[in-house]
Chains A and B, each alone.
Chain A
Amino acid sequence: MNPVKNSPLNKYHPLSCFFIFFFCQTLLAKEFEDLTFFDADIPVVLSATRLAQPQTEAPASITIIDRAMIKLSGAKAIPELFRLVPGMHVGHFRGNKPVVSYQGLSSEYPQGVQVLIDGRSVYSPLFGGVDWSNIPLVLEDIERIEIIRGANGSSFGSNAFQAVINITTSHAVQTDGLQVKSTLGERGYQRTLFRGGFSFGDLDIRLTGSHLDDNGYANNDDDSRQDLLTGRVDYQITSQDNLQLNFGVVNTLKETHTPGTLLDPFDPPRHIDESNHSLHARWEHSTMDNQLFITQASYTRHLSKDKFSSFYDVGNELLGNTVSHLDYTGHYDRYDIEFEHQRHLNEQVRLSWGLGLRNDRVYLPGQLPSEKKFNHSLQRLFSNVEWHPTDKLIINAGALWEHSQLSGESLSPRLALNYLLTPTQSLRASALHAVRSPVIVEDKMLADIPLESITTPGLVLTQPFLRSQSGLDPETVDSIEFGYHGLFIDNALTLDIKLFRNEYDKLIDTTSQNTPASLTLFGAPLVNVNLGLELHTLNNLYYTNINGYEIEINYRPDKNNMIHIGYAYNHTNVGHVSNNSLKNLLFSVPTDVLNILASHTFENKIWSSVAFYYTGSMEYLESGNPQGPMRRLDFNAGKTVNLSPHQELELSFHLQLALDKNTDFLREFSLDNRAFFEISYAYN
C-alpha cells in the first residue's frame, strides 16, 4: 500500500478535496470580507423595527425605559419598572400577582393594558389583562420598553384600550459568553439566573434560565416559586432577510387563599400550579427600495391548575356535611399570525398596513357553561399613513378593523397631527376611538357554587354566583390629547407634556342581586333557598370620563448622570351607576401618581440611585379595600469589578423603604421595607 497515495493530503483523496474546497472558500470569503464593506450589500442591523421612534414625531405620548434605567431603577421584577411611567401604578393582588394599571379602572385583571413582547401579544384571553408572574421574560433580556400612554387601537387592536407596553428584547448577538447572577432578599427572596450567548456565523443564540423563590409579604400565605427557561435565536438568512425565534417555558407555583382567613371553603389555602409555553417566529424581509415585510406567527399555551375539593358543614340537618368540587383551572391555546408591510410611497408619505388572524381556545370549567373548550377567533386589518405635507407638519391617519367572534365588528380610527416648532420641539394633537372586546369569560360567564351533601347523597345546593348578560358590547374609549415634546441642552433634557380627555363608555362591571340558591335531588329541583347571597351579573354598565395631564422630564447631561421625573393628574367623572358603585369607580383612579429617579455613576464604576414613588389614595375594583397613598423610597448602589479582560463581577445592594406602610391592593397585605443583595459574574 502506498502511504502517500492514501494520505488524506493527497489531492485525489476525498477528504483532501473537502479541505481544499473549505480552505479555498475561506480564502475567498476572507477576500470578500475585506472589500465587503466597500461594495457589497450588508444586512441592515438598525432597521426601523429596532430603532426607537423619535418622540417629537410620534402620534402619541411615549415613555421609553432603556437598559440604563432598568439597571438604575433597582427593579427586581418587570412590573416594578412601570412605576417609572406617568399615570401607571403597580399593585400585587394577594401579594404574588403583580397588577400593572394605567389610569385606574382596574381590578386584579387590568384589562385595558396591551402588552407585546417582540410583537407578540401576551394579553390573556382568560380574564383579560396580563399575568406578569407567568410571562417568559427576565429583566436582563430586555433591551428597551416603549410605553404608549393612551389608547392605541388603530395600531395594536382591541385591548390597547388604555395603554400599550411594547417590550423589545436584546438581539441574541448582544449576549456574549456566560452570566450567573444570584439575588438574595428579605422574606425568603432568592433568585438565581443563568444566561449564555453563542454565535455560529450568521446564527446567534441566547438561552436564559432562572429559579425564583419568594415568600412575599410578611405574615401572609403568598409564597411563590418560579422556574423559567427562555431563548432567542437570530438568524441572518440573507442580507435582506432575518429570522427571529423566541421560545419560553415558565412554571410557577403560588400559594393562595382568601386573605385574612383560612376557613373559606371556596377559597382555602392551596397552591396553584401555572405554566406558560410559547413559541414565536418573526421574519423580516427588506428590499432595496426600503420596503419592509414582517411576518410573524406564535403559539402560546397557558395552564393554571387549581382544582380542589372542599368540605363544609352548612349547619343544616338535611344537607349536613357537604363537599364542593371546585375547579378554577384555566387553560388556553392561542394561535396568532400577522403580516405587515411598510413602505414609502414617496418622500412625504409612508404607508404601513397589515392583517392578522388569531384563534384562542379557552378552557375555564369553573366559569364557563361547560367543560368543553371555547373558541374565539379574531380577524383584523390595519393601516396607517404618515404624511409630511411640509417640513414641519406630520399627519398620521390610521384605522384598525377587527372582527371578533364574540362581539362582532369594530373599527378603531386615529388621527394625529404633529407640528414641529423646531426640529427638537413639537406640538401634538390626536383624536382616536378604541375598543376593548370582552373576553370569552365575560361574554359567557356561568359560575355557580355547588355544595353536594355527603349526609344525603344526591342532594345538592347550588348558589348562582356569576353570570353574564348575553351579547355584551365592547367597551369603548374616545380620546383627545394635546401634547408637547421638547429637547433641550443638546438633547440632554427632554420635556413631555400631555393634556388629555378620555371618555370611556359601556364599561363592563357587575350588578348584584340577591338570588336564592336551588336545592336539587339527583338533578330534580326541590326548592329555592335564600342564603342571603348575591348573584353578580356582568353587563355594560357605566361610562367614565378621565381628564388630566401628564408631565415627564428626563435629564441626562452625560452617560454618568440621570434624573427622571414623571407626574400624572387624573380627574374622574363616572355615570350610570348607583352611588356605591360610583364611589368605587371614582376611587379606582388615583388622582396623583409621581415618580422620581436620580442616579450618578462615579469614575471608579460605583453607581448609585435614589427613587421615589407615590401613588395617591385609590381602591382597586372589587377589592373592597381603599388604600392610602403609597410612598416608597428606594436606594440602590453597585459596583462593577473587572477581574480580567473577559471577566466581570458586579455587586449591588437595593433597599426599598415603604414610607407609609399602607396596604397593597388588599388590606391584609401591608407594604414593608425590603432589602436585596445581588452578585453577578459574567465571563465573555
Chain B
Amino acid sequence: MYSEIKSCLVRLLLFAAILLPTASFGQHITIIYDKNNQYQSRFLKLLSTQLAPQQNLTLTTLSTDTLSIPHLKKAPIDLIVNLDNKTTEALISSNVETTVFHALTTLSRTKNFVSCLPNCQNKHPNHYFFVLDQPPSRQLKLIQLINPNYQKIGVLATPQSKDLITKIKRIASFNKLTINDYVSNTADVRYRIDDVSKSSDIILATADTGIYNTASLSQILLTSYRYKTPIIGFSKGFIKAGALAGSVSNVDQLAQHLSEQILQFKTANDFLLNNIIYPKYFNVLSNRNVAKSLNLHFPNDVVLKAQLMADEAD
C-alpha cells in the first residue's frame, strides 16, 4: 500500500511539475527538442521568442533525455511541437492523441517511419509535418523562370521516397515538363548521377539526405557540371557548394511560419488540410559563378522571389 501511495504521489508531482510553471488558463504547448543539437536549440530559441508575447500561451520545453512518452500522453497538453527527428517515430507509434507538429524534418526522412505519407489524414490525423522541403510547385516554377527552355527535369530518389515524386510529376505534367526520375541510394548515387545528368536539362534536388549528403555531394556536383546540367538546390550551403539556385527557408523564416501556425491552431480538424506543411516564407538564392560558367542569365534573386510570391498569391 505504501508503494502504491508513493507511485501516485510521484505521478501527481510530475503533473504538477508540468503544470505549475505554466499555470494559466491558455493553451499549453510542449516543445520537445534535443538540447545537444545546436540547430534545434537555435530554432527553439527563435520560436520561443516569437511566441513569448502571447499571454494565452504556455510554453514548456522538454529535452529528449528526460522525455517519457507515457507521461506525455497523460499530461494535459494542447499541442506538442517536436523538433527532434528521433522522437518522431516514438510519438507516432505511441498513438498519442494530442496534436503534434513535427518540425525540422524532411519528407524523405519522415517517410521512413510514416509510410502513409504524403496522405496520412486517416491514419495519423493529429500529426502534422512542417517539412524543410520546398513545395514542388515553387521549385518547378523557379526552374521555368531561370530558363523556360528547360523541359526535362531530373530527379533522384531513394526507394523509400520515390512515392513522393508523384506530386512533383503531377505538377510538372500540368506545366508541360517531363520528370526523369531515377531511383538510387547513398551507395549508388555516385553512378546514377551520370545517367541523370546526361538525360536532363536540369536536376531538381529533393531534400533527401539519403541522396544528397557530404559523402555524395562532390560527385553529384562535379558530374552534373561535367555535363553542363545545373542543379536546383534546397539549402544555402548546397547552393554555395555549387548548385545553381534554389528557394530556401532560413531558420528565422521556418520559426516564423511555425509560430503563426501555432497561434492559429484551434483543433486539428478544422485547421490544416494536409499532413505536410511546406515552408511559407523563403528566399531565392543563386550561385552566379556557376550561372556564368554555364552561360545562364536570369533575373536577380530578389526579382525571382517576387515572381514566385506573385505566382503563389495567384
Q: Do A and B bind each other?
A: yes
Query: Which of B190, B219, B237, B293 is within 8 Å of A42, CB to CB?
Result: B237
* CB nearest neighbor in A for B86: A31
Of B53-61, B160-168, B222-230, B267-275, the one touching chain A: B222-230
Interface 1/0 per residue, B265-293 and A, CB below 8 Å: 00000000000000000000001011011
Contact assessment for B222 and A35 in the assembled complex, using a CB-CB cutoff below 8 Å: no
Docked-complex contact A51 and B251, CB < 8 angstroms: no
Once the chains are docked, how many angstroms separate the CA of A162 from the CA of B199?
A: 39
Q: How far is the CB of B40 from chain A (nearest CB, A)?
A: 8
B235 contacts the other chain (CB 8 A): yes
Does A41 interact with chain B (Cβ within 8 Å)? yes
Complex Cα spacing A50 to B299, Å:
24
B157–chain A nearest beta-carbon distance, Å: 16
B238 touches A37 (CB 8 A): yes
- Cβ contact within 8 Å between A42 and B214: yes
Q: State the Cβ distance, B196 to closest chain A Cβ, in Å.
A: 12
Query: Which chain B residues border A236 with CB–CB below 8 Å?
Result: 218
Cα A236 to Cα B190 with chains together (Å): 18
Q: Are A34 and B85 in contact (CB under 8 A)?
A: yes
B307 interfacial contact with A, CB 8 Å: no
Is the CB of B33 closer than 8 A to any CB of chain A? Answer: no
What's the minimum C-beta distance from A54 to chain B, rounded to whole angstroms? 4
Q: Are A559 and B198 in contact (CB under 8 A)?
A: yes
User: Whole-angstrom distance between the alpha carbons of A559 and B152 in the complex?
Assistant: 12
Judging by beta carbons under 8 Å apart, are A424 and B295 in contact? yes
* Shortest Cβ distance from residue B202 to the other chain A in the assembled complex, whole angstroms: 13
Does B204 make an interface contact (CB < 8 A)? no
- With A31-B37, A173-B218 known to touch, is A38 a contact of B235 (CB < 8 Å)? yes
CB of A289 within 8 Å of the partner chain: no
In the complex the two chains form, is B226's CB within 8 Å of A66's CB? yes
B260 within 8 A of A: no
* Contact yes or no, A45 B221, CB < 8 A: yes
Interface size class of A (residues with CB under 8 A): 35 or more
CA distance A53 to B293 in the complex (A): 6
- Interfacial chain B residues near A45, Cβ < 8 Å: 217-218, 221-222, 241-242
Given A40-B237, A45-B241, A423-B297, A33:B213 Cβ within 8 A: yes
Considering only residues 21-54 of chain A, those with a C-beta below 8 Å from chain B are 31, 33-46, 48, 50-54
Q: How far is it, in angstroms, between the C-alpha of A38 and the C-alpha of B68 when the chains are bound?
A: 29
Task: Kindly list chain A residues whose C-beta atoms are within 8 Å of the C-beta of B222.
Answer: 45-46, 50, 170-171, 173-174
> Is B209 part of the contact surface with A, judged by Cβ < 8 Å?
yes
A684 and B289 CA atoms in complex are apart in Å by: 31
Q: Is the CB of B241 within 8 A of A44?
A: yes
A39 to B132, CA, bound (A): 11
Does B66 sit within 8 A of A, measured CB to CB?
no
15 additional A-B residue pairs with CB within 8 Å, beyond A171-B222, A424-B295, A490-B147: A31-B85, A36-B237, A37-B207, A37-B209, A38-B207, A42-B237, A43-B218, A44-B240, A44-B242, A45-B221, A46-B221, A51-B292, A173-B219, A174-B226, A423-B297
Using a CB–CB cutoff of 8 Å, the interface residues on chain A facing chain B are 31, 33-46, 48, 50-54, 56-57, 66-67, 143, 170-171, 173-174, 176, 199, 201, 204, 236, 423-424, 487, 490-491, 559, 645-646, 684
Q: Which are the 5 A-B pairs with shortest beta-carbon distances?
A: A46-B242, A42-B237, A423-B297, A51-B293, A45-B221
